[in-house]
């Protein structure tokens, strides 16, 4: 074997560990049991090489602008998706269609401003929906109508001026409705009619400019402080 060939083999072997280090560091998510923690990685895309059997995916504190449904096809076992602290401004209904077992969806601290009647139409297994600190100023029609299993809805720190979240009866299993830090200035019974005789236990309304309460609705606990 010539000296130069040996030299090439040695230099290749010398580079090998470096090459392995580089390729394996493209995805630094930490996967333990069926939980994938991809938080704080400056991600702009949803990782596509995590184990397909994960049930929890943490994408918080990244630079995601969307959660493209196609990128979640692989993770159909997810029960918890945490997408908080990103720049997500649009949600597609097909996301929940890809994730039929999803129970907790957290999108706090994002840039959502519009929810349509279709947005959550496939999210029937959701028990918690966290939309705190987005830019939702108005709820039109009935975006939460399909959420028959929802127990907790957090819409605090948005720009809502009314408690009215729909025009039809819905959310029959809701227990906690968090609306603090919005711009609600009048509390009207009819603006809570969409809850019908729901099981609501807590309505959190602190830090709203409420000036007038027009007949308190029949809810066990209203937190105005």
- State yes or no: residue 124 binds ligand NAG (CB under 6 A): yes
Question: Using CA atoms, how far apart are residues 63 and 180, in angstroms rounded to an integer?
Answer: 27
Q: Which is nearer to ligand NAG, 53 or 87 (CB)?
A: 53
Task: Pick one of 68, 121, 148, 176: the residue that binds ligand NAG (CB under 6 A).
Answer: 68
One character per residue 38-67, x = contact with ligand NAG (rule: CB under 6 A)? -x-----x--x--x-x----x-x-------
**Taking CB under 6 A as the criterion, which residues in 139-158 touch ligand NAG?**
none
Task: Pick one of 27, 41, 65, 71: the residue that binds ligand NAG (CB under 6 A).
Answer: 71
Task: Pick one of 4, 23, 25, 197: the residue that binds ligand NAG (CB under 6 A).
Answer: 197
- State yes or no: residue 101 binds ligand NAG (CB under 6 A): yes
Q: What are phi and psi of 116, to 5 degrees?
A: -100, 175
Question: Using CA atoms, how far apart are residues 225 and 223, in angstroms rounded to an integer?
Answer: 6
Contact 39, 59 (CB under 8 A): yes
In angstroms, give the least distance from the CB of 32 to ligand NAG. 11
Q: Which residues pair with 214 in a beta bridge?
A: 188
DSSP secondary structure of 7-37: HHHHHHHHHHHHHHHHHHTT---EEETTEEE
Q: Which is nearer to ligand NAG, 20 or 70 (CB)?
A: 70
- State yes or no: residue 100 binds ligand NAG (CB under 6 A): yes
Task: Pick one of 167, 196, 209, 224: the residue that binds ligand NAG (CB under 6 A).
Answer: 196
- State yes or no: residue 125 binds ligand NAG (CB under 6 A): yes
Q: Which is nearer to ligand NAG, 100 or 209 (CB)?
A: 100
**Interface positions with ligand NAG (CB under 6 A):** 39, 45, 48, 51, 53, 58, 60, 68, 70-71, 80, 82, 100-101, 124-125, 169, 196-197
């Amino acid at each position: 074997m010539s000296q130069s060939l040996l030299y090439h083999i040695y230099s290749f072997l010398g580079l090998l560990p470096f090459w392995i280090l580089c390729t394996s560091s493209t995805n630094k998510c930490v996967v333990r049991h069926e939980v994938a923690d991809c938080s704080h990685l400056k991600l702009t895309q949803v990782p596509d090489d995590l184990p397909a059997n994960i049930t929890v995916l943490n994408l918080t504190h990244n630079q995601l602008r969307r959660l493209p449904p196609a990128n979640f096809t692989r993770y159909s076992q997810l029960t918890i998706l945490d997408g908080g602290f990103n720049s997500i401004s649009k949600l597609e209904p097909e996301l929940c269609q890809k994730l039929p077992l999803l129970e907790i969806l957290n999108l706090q601290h994002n840039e959502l401003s519009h929810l349509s009647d279709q947005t959550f139409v496939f999210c029937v297994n959701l028990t918690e929906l966290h939309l705190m600190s987005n830019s939702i100023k108005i709820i039109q029609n009935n975006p939460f109508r399909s959420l028959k299993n929802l127990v907790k809805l957090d819409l605090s720190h948005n720009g809502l001026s009314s408690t009215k979240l729909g025009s039809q009866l819905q959310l029959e299993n809701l227990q906690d409705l968090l609306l603090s830090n919005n711009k609600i200035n009048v509390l009207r019974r009819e603006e809570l009619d969409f809850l019908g005789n729901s099981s609501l236990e807590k309505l959190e309304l602190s830090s709203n400019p409420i000036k007038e309460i027009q007949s308190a609705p029949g809810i066990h606990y209203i937190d105005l402080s």
